[in-house]
Amino acid sequence: MSNHSYPPMLRPLNPRKDLQFIADLIELCFAETLDQSGREYIRQLRQIAREPSVYWIGRATNHYYAPRQGFVWEEEGRIVGNLSIFPFQTSHGVEYLIANVAVHPDFRRRGIARLLTERALDDIRERGGSHAWLNVRQDNLAAVSLYRQLGFSERLRRTHWQYRNSSSSFQGEQNGKGVSPNSGTQIRPRTAADWEMHQHWLLLTYPQEYHWHLDFHLDWFAPGFFAWLRGFLSENRYQHYSILKENRLVGIATLQSNPREGKALWMACDPEWENEAIQDFLSYFLNKRISQEKITLDYPAQRATQPLQEAGFIPTQTLIWMERLVEPQKQQPSKFPTSIPS
């Protein structure tokens, strides 16, 4: 048990009763910053609140799912604070994500978010967890300061980009062989021989400690029948394109398509050629291949911003990913002797 004492207004989440109120609170608190995925998540929460039977459906079919662990702050007969906890299996074992931290505007500056987070850390400790993660928008300076005070350290800073065809600024014409004139750049389908460098660059751009959040598996990008089969069974389709500069491989782009979740772009480039490779690929690809639809890209913050913006990608948000090691729970001394004196 925790050594802390918490106010009675702070209680465990009851997923069968609280989801509708949590959805309303999240929508209220983040109305100005919700993107399409955030609105879809709220819609999912409300659907589950109306149809509890779907609550137990796992994450196999889509990216959105309901919290089963967490805490709420209940006052004046309503939920005015919320925090969700999600366990994830990683290469280090089970790690925990703290998410959906929200406090009603009328109840802020009373330390509710701090108490919810402290209670969550105690809960993770009681479960034997050793790593706690959370993310926060980089422009939410008050929240960033709070989490640093609570012992969280920045590990990653990622920007979520979104593209729609109508915003593209590229007007150039390319020839049918996939070569951008006067650039010395060739775009061709990836070959099995490119895989060694591809996986190396993927891990530089999408570090292993970040894979669990992205639903990212390196095997999905590998060449061969089994990778194709995994993609087929998951409804994901992958198209890989190698980018060559003067016959030298400088990057690989992957377009992931899913009938439910749309299209996502994955870029993996030689760091020395990152900007040029992305610019040349997008110049060729967006004009020749993409219809009027949304494409998303998750990429390290402050990298390749110029070629992405020039191609018509818009940064929707930058998140700071923070981690804290959770100290193991101290064992209480036994009240009884460990051995019987002779």
Average pLDDT value for residue range 266-274? 97
- For 38, other C-beta atoms within 10 Å of its C-beta total 17
Secondary structure of residue 298 in the 3-state scheme = strand
79 phi and psi angles, rounded to 5 deg: -80, 120
Whole-Å CA distances, 4 to 109, 113, 133, 240, 333: 21, 16, 21, 52, 18
pLDDT of residue 39: 85
Burial class (CB in 10 A: 0-12, 13-18, 19+), 195: middle
pLDDT of residue 164: 73
pLDDT of residue 182: 46
- pLDDT tens for residues 303-328? 999 999 999 999 999 999 999 999 88
pLDDT of residue 327: 84
Average pLDDT value for residue range 81-90? 92
What is the separation of C-alpha 293 from the centre of its chain, rounded to a whole number of angstroms?
21
| Secondary structure letter of residue 332 according to DSSP | P
Higher pLDDT, 62 or 208: 208
Total residue length of the chain: 342
Percentage of the chain beyond pLDDT 90 is 59
Give the domain ranges of the chain: 10-129, 160-318
- pLDDT tens for residues 6-18? 999 999 999 889 9
> Residue 299 pairs with which residues in a beta bridge?
159
pLDDT of residue 214: 77
Domains 10-129 and 160-318 share a fold: yes
pLDDT of residue 333: 53
pLDDT grade, residue 91 (50/70/90)? confident
pLDDT of residue 196: 97
Q: What is the pTM of this model?
A: 0.84
What is the separation of C-alpha 229 from the centre of its chain, rounded to a whole number of angstroms?
25
Query: Which numeric CATH code is attached to 160-318?
Result: 3.40.630
User: Do residues 187 and 285 make contact, with C-beta atoms less than 8 angstroms apart?
Assistant: yes
Contacts with 253 (C-beta within 8 Å, 6 or more apart), sequence order:
240, 241, 243, 265, 266, 267, 268, 281, 285
Q: Which amino acid appears at position 17 of this protein?
A: K
pLDDT grade, residue 332 (50/70/90)? low
In this structure, of 61-65, 76-80, 142-146, 275-279, the range with the lowest mean pLDDT score is: 61-65
What CATH fold (topology level) applies to the domain 10-129?
Answer: Aminopeptidase (3.40.630)
